[in-house]
A and B are shown apart, each in its own frame.
Chain A
Amino acid sequence: MANLRINGAARTVAADDDIPLLWVLREQLQMTGTKYGCGIAQCGACTVHIDGRAARACVTPAAVLQGREVVTIEGVSGDVARAVQETWRRLDVAQCGYCQSGQIMSAIALLSEIRRPSDADIDAAMTGNVCRCATYVRIRAAIHEAATTLGA
């Protein structure tokens, strides 16, 4: 058993057997917004925030997260999150949508750190997030637009 803080709440989960955070979230806590896409840190579908930074839940053992702050797409909040999610809707970024929780979590982490990201900043921060529907044109546009909305 491990005591985690997820979306601001204390949760006790079964974290034996090197189980990754991804499956704890999805199967023990029914937080299915965080997705499985590859399991080997190659696609970013499982992106969450750990202490405010984007991390891949599929390769992060839940047991090492005692005392760390985990935020998922279900719990993300604040100005930056709101701006990102609203812009994503305004531009209809999502196609199948399966990658988009991860994209949004990475975009929020980026904009929290760099208020006016350049294209190169976006490439660097988002390169780990695969979209097989190739919504990248809109992801880039949405990040720029969200940055403008935030008025940094």
Chain B
Amino acid sequence: MFTRRRFLETTALAGAALVVGVRFDSRPAAAVEGLAPDAFVRIAPDNTVTIISKHIELGQGSYSGVATILAEELDADWSQIRVESAPSDAARYGNRLLGGAQVTGGSTAMADSWSQMRRAGATARAMLVEAAAREWSIPASEITVDRGVVSHAPSGRRATFGELASKAAAIAPPAQVTLKDPKDFKLVGKQPPRVDSRAKTDGSAQYTMDFAVPGMLTALIARPPRFGATVKSFDATAARRVKGVTHVVPVPAGVAVVAESFWAARKGREALRVAWDESRAEKRGTDELYAAYRVLAGRPATRARREGDADGALRGAARVLEAVYEFPYLAHAPMEPLDAVIRVGADGCDLWAGSQAPTIDQQVVAQIVGVPANTVRVHTLLGGGSFGRRATPNGDVAGEAASIAKAIGGDRAVKLVWTREDDIQGGRYRPLYVHRLRGGLDAAGNIVGWEHRIVGQSIASGTPFESAMVKDGVDRTSVEGAANLPYAIANIAVDLHTTRIGVPVLWWRSVGSTHTAYSTETFLDELAHAVGRDPVDLRRALLAKHPRHLAALNLAADRAGWGQTLPSGRARGVAVHESFNSVVAQVVEVSRRPDGLPKVERVVCAVDCGTAINPDVVRAQMEGGIGYGLAAALWNEVTLVRGRVQQRNFDTYRPLRIGEMPAVEVHIVPSGAAPTGVGEPGVPPIAPAVANAFFQLTGQRVRRLPFARLAAAGTRTS
């Protein structure tokens, strides 16, 4: 069988003039003429420049970012740029910052792409220039390139990329290329419009949920009511009677109901009777977990960081403050529920998904279906949000789809859909944590000791990432943001109790910083208040050795008018936090809603993300991160009672709505450094900044998230 992989190899051997289109179907793509110096760009005779993104577009702007970098060095015209997603091939499309697997995550897309895409663009440019030089018999050094046009001023000759592409394909790619001086950038740092806005405003953007192939079936899975339960028996009589239901099959995740349409699958699932074996299921509720964690928070734990002697400093302190924090399980709830389309054929297997980790999916599907990994083709479609949920260490959704395909046999494609209820109740949550902080002050009001203990599940434990992420018993995702506390405090101890609970957990937009930024930044605020220091001044004093933190903090404070009087009924709060190598400071203004919760009126955000490739995308990610973090801080929690999840859908897992979105101003700290993350770092500061402002306004410290628990508990605080 002439597989696509084989086709790629063959055409690569046949020379650069033949290149392969990356398509979303499994037929060998048609060869087109043009220039394709490497795996990342293709220039066609019709003058289109197609950039192949190895990073999935989930809304974070990766397609636009990758294209901006490459088009910059290529000197392409923005209007000729197209972006396609890369096929699954870790050898060519691996993320060099994540061990070489083809994975989008950890806010690394720009950092990983920066030098690679610049080089790819510069290489293609050099080949076009050389083609023109040969064609016109002039020295390459006399040629200029601007917005997709190659010209020679002395002779007045000009050619478009498209006109030169096929000739350039005959030229060997140069071994060395010169990259631009950043001062000559025309796209990077400017505002090229997003490449995906048109398709996302006329209904044509295609997500996995929209993808279909002829004859495709739709599957839903009846999932256990408690985590860890398994199918004991099931009665499919009624389900099979539902018109359109074709198969009811047991799979590791539960019982799959497969049908000719979503609606039939849903009806079939409703009619299905399943008896569950819950003998090994997790039956504790979140109240019990909090209670157990609070006990653990009082006991010594595994050390994650030691500076000086925190214990001694706290014993000798004039005053010791202590606070205990509770953080709930959180669902990601991306707007597009989880889904995948799979087809197992004689020539291999195709998976269409909006997955952050094609390499993992490829291996998982191969293992389940029982075929070599290189015969599994993963086609990455646009993702309707993810926030970490579409990157699982075990390729859960792809694996479920594969298990269904295997169970029903045949070669009809199957689309697995998670309903919103499946999504909210199906686990892989941001773990529940309890933190205990103690801070020691000397008689002069200096912070002399800082002790931080974190209790919660490990995200990496039991996954293929364990060896890389868990060191000396400490999962760094549990303590990131706490173990690297930037403040100049002589004696610091950070400890971790890792718990084992049968609730599946996962990284959630900004991972450890979702909770560590909250406890550290609100506790520092408590210490500042205890000694009568202004919270910005105190941070400045303790951040003298951290210029990026200082710059972001100062920028946000200045633009927010920190220190200036506010109308009554309003108060300000501040937080600054580093995550994914970017530093974000936020100053918020809050008032009070009729129900007593904070209403966030305005957020002034300053971000240092190195070179801002697309400043407007950076702004958008800060806006979005603020809104995403705010929904969680105010309302979101997944609670369990006797092991059963209490929330079901957006009625009980409350998303932020337009009237609750604050005005947001984003300021970017000028930087010539290599780019760092923006997808996640906007999230961590918002909740603590709001909490600090809320304290200013009300005198209440909120130590249990979400804020909505305040209303439930009256005015009780820890």
Contacts and interface: CB of A to CB of B under 8 A. Distances in A.
Contact of A123 (B205, B218, B649, B659): B659
Contact of A101 (B58, B203, B616, B626): B203
Contact of B658 (A30, A89, A97, A127): A127
A100 B334 contact: no
A19 interface: yes
A123 B206 contact: no
B209 interface: yes
A114 to B, nearest CB: 15
Nearest to B417: A36
Given A35-B209, A139-B658, A96 B385 contact: yes
Contacts of A66: none
Contacts of B203: 31-34, 72-74, 101
Q: Tell which of B61, B207, B264, B385 has the most Cβ of chain A within 10 Å.
A: B385
Given A30-B212, A85-B202, A139-B658, A98 B623 contact: no
A6 to B, nearest CB: 13
B201 A95 contact: no
B663 interface: yes
B67 to A, nearest CB: 14
B426 to A, nearest CB: 15
Contacts of A104: 201
B656 A32 contact: no
B554 interface: no
Nearest to B191: A92
A131 B626 CA distance: 13
Nearest to A124: B659
A130 B651 CA distance: 12
Interface residues of B, number: 64
A134 B207 CA distance: 19
Interface string A133-147: 111111110000000
A99 B663 CA distance: 20
A138 B620 contact: yes
B384 A134 contact: no
B627 A136 contact: yes
A34 B580 CA distance: 35
B558 to A, nearest CB: 21
A134 B650 contact: no
A40 B201 contact: no
Q: Tell which of A34, A45, A136 has the most Cβ of chain B within 10 Å.
A: A136
Interface in B211-228: 212, 218
A10 to B, nearest CB: 21
A54 interface: no
A89 B625 CA distance: 21
A134 B382 CA distance: 18
A88 B651 CA distance: 28
A20 B650 contact: no
Interface string A6-40: 00000000001101100100110011111111111
A42 interface: yes
A72 B210 CA distance: 15
A122 interface: yes
B309 interface: no
A13 B650 CA distance: 30
B385 A98 contact: yes
Interface SS, B side = loop
B267 A17 contact: yes
B699 to A, nearest CB: 29
Contacts of A135: 620, 623-624, 627
B55 to A, nearest CB: 14
B96 interface: no
Given A32-B210, A89-B198, A132 B620 contact: no
A125 to B, nearest CB: 9
B261 interface: yes
Nearest to A102: B335
Contacts of B657: 127, 130, 136
B293 interface: no
A98 B207 contact: yes
A33 B334 contact: no
A135 B661 CA distance: 9
A122 B658 contact: yes
A143 B243 CA distance: 44
Nearest to A45: B335
Interface in B324-354: 333-337
B650 A130 contact: yes
B655 interface: yes
A80 interface: no
A12 B197 CA distance: 33
Given A38-B649, A89-B198, A95-B620, A134 B661 contact: yes
Nearest to A36: B209
Nearest to A75: B203
A97 B623 contact: no
Given A96-B384, A133-B335, A123 B658 contact: yes
Interface in A42-101: 42-43, 45, 72-74, 85, 88-90, 92-101
Nearest to B198: A89
A12 B107 CA distance: 47
Nearest to B261: A27
A39 B420 CA distance: 8
A94 B194 contact: yes
A135 B616 CA distance: 13
B200 interface: yes
B59 interface: yes
B263 interface: yes
B204 interface: yes
A89 B201 contact: yes
A126 B658 contact: yes
Interface string B594-637: 00000000000000000000001100100111111011000000
A1 B696 CA distance: 62
Contact of B383 (A72, A96, A122, A137): A96
Given A27-B262, A97-B200, A134-B631, 4 more contacts: A23-B261, A26-B210, A40-B651, A97-B59
9 residue pairs, one from A and one from B, having the closest CB atoms: A33-B203, A134-B627, A96-B59, A98-B384, A97-B200, A95-B59, A73-B203, A32-B210, A136-B661
15 contacts: A27-B262, A27-B263, A34-B203, A35-B384, A39-B420, A94-B200, A97-B196, A104-B201, A129-B658, A132-B387, A133-B385, A134-B623, A135-B624, A136-B656, A140-B661
